[in-house]
């Protein structure tokens, strides 16, 4: 019994700048998408597409995940964050690295700017991984959620290392194979190793918590963890050294792992006490449904189907879009409004609860904007995917406009929360608690 | 849930209903977080739990309980203790809480 260790949350300056940066990155990404409709007609190794991908992956998704994780790690691991200073250093390096890398890709300047960006990002990942690992070692008990989270950071470091090597290789030319060969490795360990493992680790804890469900067993998650990691390790070694043609098998292991996670979530969903799903959770389930598309496409890109080159190029593009602008973005758009209002509320009202009537976190942002954000997102996503697949630039443009509208609603709501000020609060007048 | 001071106990529970769990949106009494209220001499002790260990609201809820009870019962010394046994489960939500939770 203790009251001493109840608040493990880090300071707001550790967490909130990540949300502020990520929202702006999402706007930048969407606006640049409008000016990049011509880039979707060919191969994915295109300066504009590389820019868009890295803004989406680093400035938007990774930035937001870093910030959210500093808040959520103490919840999942039941201990304080190891170092707030490391977290701030990691944020600065990620922000600077993302801006420099985006500039370098957009103008395709493969010299010192790209090298500097690569070094900043790799260092940011190293600091982040070190911080998470040290935090996990403080945890009073080790769970499978912790395994997912800690391992995902090692894959992030590996992804960054391959990316840095590729950046240096542009001018130094020391890698034995071509860039596309390493790009496949870089992309897949980033997608399945970093994003997927992290999302499963955090989702397995948070989604049942938000649904008020208590899943009895974590066996499915344990199997998922080993299947995904085994699939990834096999893929890495095969891709680098053997090229046996068994990629579909490794893909199958990853897909089976995701399937087990989905079953775990389904069990939690069936046993939930909270029947009424808010907009944030509705969007989260949309994201979980959207993961089906990249899982199907994973088999298409991992088996050498005799498809026309043009169609295959379009499928590769849709595959990438369906992961980053589909599953990952949809999840962020939903989960932001399950976590950020809460974080802001806690910092604003922590010392007022119990003395004054305070608003609830759900009263601190616009539900109408959130609803329009979710609608415009889904429309934008469908139009973009259709446009890329059918190679119709007007559809791609319509999708990009949909994303821009989404990003504006999202950012407006995020800044509404970040700039929230405590107004004059009324003290309690005892008598009727439900009044 | 148990009270050892029936007169004050009822008032304590009524007062604690002002504290709303910000995520779930229902008060901490109907959510089943208050396990025990006792009064000995001038010391009012409240044993409470959280929906999950590591809940970021832990310190906020404890401070809120301390503040609201100190405010409501200035003549008493308030002690709040966080307990984990038995672990909280959704079975502890009251009927009223379930109705609020599902918007009935």
Is 80 exceeded by the pLDDT of residue A63? yes
Task: Judge whether B94 lies within some domain.
Answer: no
Which residues of chain B neighbour A15 with C-beta distances below 8 Å?
Answer: none
What pLDDT is stored for residue A434 in this prediction? 52
Each residue's pLDDT tens digit, A76-134? 887 889 999 999 999 999 999 999 999 999 999 989 999 999 999 999 999 999 999 99
Q: Percent of chain A having pLDDT more than 70? A: 97
Is 50 exceeded by the pLDDT of residue A4? no
What pLDDT is stored for residue A303 in this prediction? 81
Query: Rounded to whole angstroms, how far apart are CA atoms A267 and A213?
Result: 9
Task: Judge whether B49 lies within some domain.
Answer: yes
- A&B contacts, CB < 8 Å: 108
Query: Rounded to whole angstroms, how far apart are CA atoms A373 and A378?
Result: 9
What pLDDT is stored for residue A431 in this prediction? 60
How far off is chain A from B18, nearest CA to CA, in Å?
5
Each residue's pLDDT tens digit, A192-251? 999 999 999 999 988 988 888 877 788 999 999 999 999 999 999 999 998 888 999 999
Residue in A with minimal Cα distance to B21: A360
Q: B63 or A121, which is more confident?
A: A121
Mean pLDDT of chain A: 91
For helices A84-106 and A112-137, the axis angle rounded to 10 degrees is 150
Query: Rounded to whole angstroms, how far apart are CA atoms A179 and A170?
Result: 9
Task: Judge whether B103 lies within some domain.
Answer: no
Query: Rounded to whole angstroms, how far apart are CA atoms B44 and B77?
Result: 6
Does any CB of chain A come closer than 8 Å to the CB of residue B77?
Answer: no
| CB-CB under 8 Å, B27 with A433 | yes
| CB-CB under 8 Å, B66 with A354 | yes
Region of A142 please: left (phi>0), alpha (psi -120 to 50) or beta. beta
Of A148, A149, A104, A100, give the one whose Cα is nearest residue A123: A100
Is 60 exceeded by the pLDDT of residue A413? yes
Does any CB of chain B come closer than 8 Å to the CB of residue A7?
Answer: yes
Of A157, A136, A55, A47, give the one whose Cα is nearest residue A97: A55
| CB-CB under 8 Å, A350 with B60 | yes
CA separation, residue B26 to residues A120, B22, B29, B97 (Å)? 45, 8, 8, 6
Residue with tokens 């409004």: A337
Domains and CATH numbers, chain A: 12-418 (1.20.210.10)
Q: A346 or A331, which is more confident?
A: A331
- pTM value? 0.90
Which residues of chain B neighbour A79 with C-beta distances below 8 Å?
Answer: 54
Is 50 exceeded by the pLDDT of residue A2? no
Does any CB of chain B come closer than 8 Å to the CB of residue A77?
Answer: yes
Which residues of chain A neighbour B27 with C-beta distances below 8 Å?
Answer: 433
| CB-CB under 8 Å, B101 with A273 | yes
Structural domain boundaries, residue B12 = 2-87
Q: Indicate the pLDDT class of residue B104, thresholds 50, 70 and 90.
A: low
What pLDDT is stored for residue A6 in this prediction? 45
Query: Rounded to whole angstroms, how far apart are CA atoms A226 and A297?
Result: 22
Does any CB of chain A come closer than 8 Å to the CB of residue B66?
Answer: yes
Q: Could you give the 3-state DSSP secondary structure of residue A142?
A: coil
Is 70 exceeded by the pLDDT of residue A432? no
Each residue's pLDDT tens digit, B10-59? 889 999 998 988 888 889 999 999 999 999 988 999 999 988 776 777 77
Mean pLDDT of chain B: 85
CB of A249 within 8 A of CB of A304? no
Each residue's pLDDT tens digit, A244-293? 889 999 999 999 999 999 999 999 999 888 888 889 999 999 999 999 99
How far off is chain A from B59, nearest CA to CA, in Å?
5
How far off is chain B from A272, nearest CA to CA, in Å?
9
Mean pLDDT of all residues in A166-181 = 91
Each residue's pLDDT tens digit, A141-173? 888 999 999 999 999 999 999 999 999 999 998
What pLDDT is stored for residue B57 in this prediction? 76
ipTM over 0.90 threshold: no
| CB-CB under 8 Å, B17 with A354 | no
Mean pLDDT of all residues in A373-386 = 97
Residue with tokens 């008598």: A431
What pLDDT is stored for residue A307 in this prediction? 84
Task: Judge whether B98 lies within some domain.
Answer: no
Task: Judge whether B96 lies within some domain.
Answer: no
Which CATH number belongs to the domain containing residue B64 in this structure? 3.30.300.130
Does any CB of chain B come closer than 8 Å to the CB of residue A270?
Answer: no
Does any CB of chain B come closer than 8 Å to the CB of residue A74?
Answer: yes
Is 80 exceeded by the pLDDT of residue A359? yes
Task: Judge whether B93 lies within some domain.
Answer: no
| CB-CB under 8 Å, B52 with A353 | no
Q: Indicate the pLDDT class of residue A1, thresholds 50, 70 and 90.
A: very low
What pLDDT is stored for residue A3 in this prediction? 33
Which residues of chain A neighbour B98 with C-beta distances below 8 Å?
Answer: 273
Domain count, chain B: 1
Does any CB of chain B come closer than 8 Å to the CB of residue A276?
Answer: yes
Task: Judge whether B43 lies within some domain.
Answer: yes
Is 60 exceeded by the pLDDT of residue A425? yes
Residue in A with minimal Cα distance to B31: A212
Task: Judge whether B10 lies within some domain.
Answer: yes
Q: What's the half-sphere exposure (Cβ side, CA atoms, 13 Å) at A374? A: 20
Does any CB of chain B come closer than 8 Å to the CB of residue A76?
Answer: yes
Q: Could you give the 3-state DSSP secondary structure of residue B78?
A: strand
Is 70 exceeded by the pLDDT of residue A7? no
């Amino acid at each position: 019994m203790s009251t001493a260790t109840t608040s493990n949350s880090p300071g707001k300056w550790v967490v909130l700048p990540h949300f502020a940066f990520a929202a702006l990155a999402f706007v930048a990404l969407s606006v640049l998408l409008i000016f990049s409709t011509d880039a979707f007609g060919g191969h994915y190794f295109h300066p504009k597409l590389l820019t868009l991908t890295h803004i989406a992956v680093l400035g938007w998704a990774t930035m937001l995940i870093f910030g959210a994780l500093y808040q959520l790690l103490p919840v999942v691991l039941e201990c304080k964050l190891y170092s707030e200073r490391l977290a701030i250093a990691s944020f600065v390096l990620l922000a600077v690295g993302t801006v420099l890398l985006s500039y370098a890709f957009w103008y395709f300047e493969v010299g010192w700017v790209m090298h500097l960006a690569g070094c900043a990002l790799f260092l940011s990942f190293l600091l982040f991984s070190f911080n998470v690992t040290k935090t996990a070692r403080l945890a009073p008990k080790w769970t499978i959620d912790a395994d997912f989270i800690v391992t995902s950071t090692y894959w992030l470091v590996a992804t960054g290392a391959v990316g840095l090597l590729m950046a240096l290789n542009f001018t130094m030319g020391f890698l034995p194979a071509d860039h596309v060969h390493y790009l496949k490795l870089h992309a897949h360990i980033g997608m399945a190793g970093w994003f997927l493992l992290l999302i499963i680790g955090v989702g397995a804890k948070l989604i049942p918590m938000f649904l008020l469900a208590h899943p009895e067993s974590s066996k499915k998650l344990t199997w998922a963890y080993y299947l995904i990691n085994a699939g990834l390790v096999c893929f890495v070694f095969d891709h680098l050294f053997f090229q046996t043609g068994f990629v579909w098998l490794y893909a199958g292991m990853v897909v089976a792992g995701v399937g087990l996670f989905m079953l775990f979530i389904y069990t939690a969903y069936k046993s939930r006490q909270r029947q009424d799903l808010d907009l944030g959770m509705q969007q989260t389930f949309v994201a979980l449904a959207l993961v089906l598309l990249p899982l199907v496409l994973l088999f298409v890109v991992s088996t050498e189907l005799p498809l026309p080159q043009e169609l295959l190029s379009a499928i590769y593009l849709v595959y990438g879009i369906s992961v980053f602008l589909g599953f990952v973005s949809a999840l962020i758009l939903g989960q932001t409004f399950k976590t950020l209002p809460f974080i802001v509320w806690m910092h604003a009202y922590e010392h007022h609860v119990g003395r004054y009537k305070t608003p609830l976190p759900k009263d601190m942002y616009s539900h109408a904007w959130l609803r329009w954000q979710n609608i415009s997102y889904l429309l934008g996503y469908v139009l973009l995917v259709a446009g890329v697949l059918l190679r119709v630039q007007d559809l791609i443009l319509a999708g990009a406009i949909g994303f821009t509208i989404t990003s504006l609603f999202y950012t407006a709501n995020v800044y509404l929360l970040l700039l929230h000020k405590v107004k004059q609060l009324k003290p309690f007048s005892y008598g009727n608690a439900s009044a | 849930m148990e009270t050892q001071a029936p007169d004050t106990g009822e008032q304590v529970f009524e007062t604690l209903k002002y504290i709303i769990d910000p995520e779930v949106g229902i008060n901490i009494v109907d959510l089943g977080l208050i396990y025990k209220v006792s009064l000995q001499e001038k010391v009012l002790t409240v044993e409470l739990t959280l929906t999950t260990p590591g809940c970021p609201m832990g310190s906020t809820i404890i401070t809120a309980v301390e503040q609201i009870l100190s405010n409501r019962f200035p003549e008493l010394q308030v002690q709040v203790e966080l307990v984990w046994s038995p672990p909280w489960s959704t079975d502890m939500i009251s009927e009223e809480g379930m109705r609020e939770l599902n918007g009935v």
